[in-house]
Amino acid sequence: MKRDFLTLWDLSSQEINLLLKRAIELKSGKDAHKCPLIGRSIALLFEKASTRTRVSLEVGIYQLGAKAIYMNPKEIQLGRGETVRDTAKVLSRYLDAIVIRTYSHNTLIEFASNSSIPVINGLSDLHHPCQALADLMTILEKKKRLKGIRLAYIGDGNNVANSLLEAASRMGINFTIACPKGYEPDTDILKRARDAAKSEIFIMRDPGKAVDRADALYTDVWVSMGQEKDTKTKQAKFKGYQINNTVLSYAKKDAIVLHCLPAHRGEEITEDVLDGPQSVVIDQAENRLHTQKALLEFLLTRPIREKK
């Protein structure tokens, strides 16, 4: 049975733990010369710009022995009106897996339901689950545990926040988001995460309160790709929702600072914090490579769903 990775719910908590363990092994150099996916082909169908997701996947796929094929929807017949359904059915006959970065999360669902190969979400309007895997790995690496960690997210309840919230709920991380009214995480995602949570999930307005005694602080851009027309409104609404030295001083002394990148320095985070000693953003970006290799290896070599 093929397995997709569209959201954090597509893996059990036990599978997430296994995958993080494997990513740590791969990072240490274990199995560096094994090519478990030799002879396989994996496409990246990207409707939006990308530095980390694209390059870490292309490199990771190469290191696993497979071939990566990068496709811009405008350059294939999809861009001329061929349906998602037909594209999914045809590409399933050539490829072993596909990673899609798209606007509407429904496109991913439609693609996945019409394809016989694993479909991986490389970012949609609602989710960024590959990012959340690297976020979990980074927290685990730096704090040596996930359960009971206090994670504070300051800013927009966007795709990155939604996936982080799901990851926190699954792994027993206490999650607090501080955001302006109207910019909370998606209602359905929040409800499901809260219903299943092994930890506490709070939404509040005050960034200072949200980071109180936090082990890890996280932020992302105020204006995501595709929202450029809302830039002025969002810049006004999010004033004050910034990770800076004052906000950081309310967290634990050894708190780490995460950001999925790219960052807008001086907006959601100040330059001194982003480049400061508590920032782990470059390790976090590196961990995209290791977690995605572990994910691909898992989806392409162990497709049976394990018992929860």
Residues that bind ligand NVA in the complex, under the rule CB under 6 A? 123, 158-160, 220-221, 224-225, 260
Annotated catalytic, 290?
no
Instruction: For ligand NVA, give the closer residue by CB, 117 or 130.
Output: 130
The item of ligand CP, ligand NVA, none sharing an interface with residue 51, based on CB under 5 to 8 Å by kind, is ligand CP
Residue 261 CB, shortest distance to ligand NVA, in Å, is 7
Binders of ligand CP among 116-155, rule CB under 6 A?
123, 131
Quick one: DSSP state of residue 96? S
The item of ligand NVA, ligand CP, none sharing an interface with residue 158, based on CB under 5 to 8 Å by kind, is ligand NVA
Question: Which residue's entry shows tokens 């019409």?
Answer: 114
Question: What residues contact residue 272 under an 8 Å CB cut-off, 6+ apart?
Answer: 244, 245
Considering only 84, 260, 274, 295, the residue that binds ligand CP (CB under 6 A) is 260
Beta strands in the chain (DSSP E): 41-46, 67-71, 97-101, 119-121, 150-154, 174-178, 201-204, 216-219, 256-259
Catalytically annotated residue among 170, 260, 278, 290? 260
Residue 128 CB, shortest distance to ligand CP, in Å, is 6
- When asked if residue 261 is in the footprint of ligand CP (CB under 6 A), the reply is yes
Cβ atoms 11, 5 nearer than 8 A: yes
The item of ligand NVA, ligand CP, none sharing an interface with residue 115, based on CB under 5 to 8 Å by kind, is none
Name the segment binding ligand CP (CB under 6 A); options: 46-54, 149-157, 204-212, 238-246: 46-54
- When asked if residue 50 is in the footprint of ligand CP (CB under 6 A), the reply is yes
- When asked if residue 52 is in the footprint of ligand CP (CB under 6 A), the reply is yes
SS3 151: strand
Tokens of 52: 């980390």
Catalytically annotated residue among 40, 125, 131, 170? 131
Give the separation between CA 282 and CA 285, rounded to whole angstroms: 5
204: nearest Cα among 157, 260, 147: 157
- When asked if residue 223 is in the footprint of ligand CP (CB under 6 A), the reply is no
Question: Which residue's entry shows tokens 């330059």?
Answer: 271
Residue 176 CB, shortest distance to ligand NVA, in Å, is 19
- When asked if residue 221 is in the footprint of ligand CP (CB under 6 A), the reply is no
Instruction: For ligand CP, give the closer residue by CB, 87 or 131.
Output: 131
Tokens of 29: 């150099």
Give the separation between CA 53 and CA 51, rounded to whole angstroms: 6
Task: Give the per-residue contact string, 66-105, with ligand CP (x = CB under 6 A; - = no).
Answer: ----------------------------------------
Total of chain residues touching ligand CP, rule CB under 6 A: 8
Give the separation between CA 293 and CA 27, rounded to whole angstroms: 10
Residue 49 CB, shortest distance to ligand NVA, in Å, is 9
Element (DSSP H or E) covering residue 17: helix 13-27
Cβ atoms 256, 216 nearer than 8 A: yes
Question: What residues contact residue 130 under an 8 Å CB cut-off, 6+ apart?
Answer: 5, 53, 120, 121, 122, 123, 288, 291, 292, 295
Annotated catalytic, 220?
yes
The item of ligand CP, ligand NVA, none sharing an interface with residue 161, based on CB under 5 to 8 Å by kind, is none
Cβ atoms 132, 167 nearer than 8 A: yes
Annotated catalytic, 101?
yes
Can you state the percent helix, strand and coil of the chain, rounding each to 5? 45, 15, 40
Residues acting as catalytic residues: 101, 128, 131, 220, 260, 288
- Interaction site with ligand CP (CB under 6 A): 50-53, 123, 131, 260-261
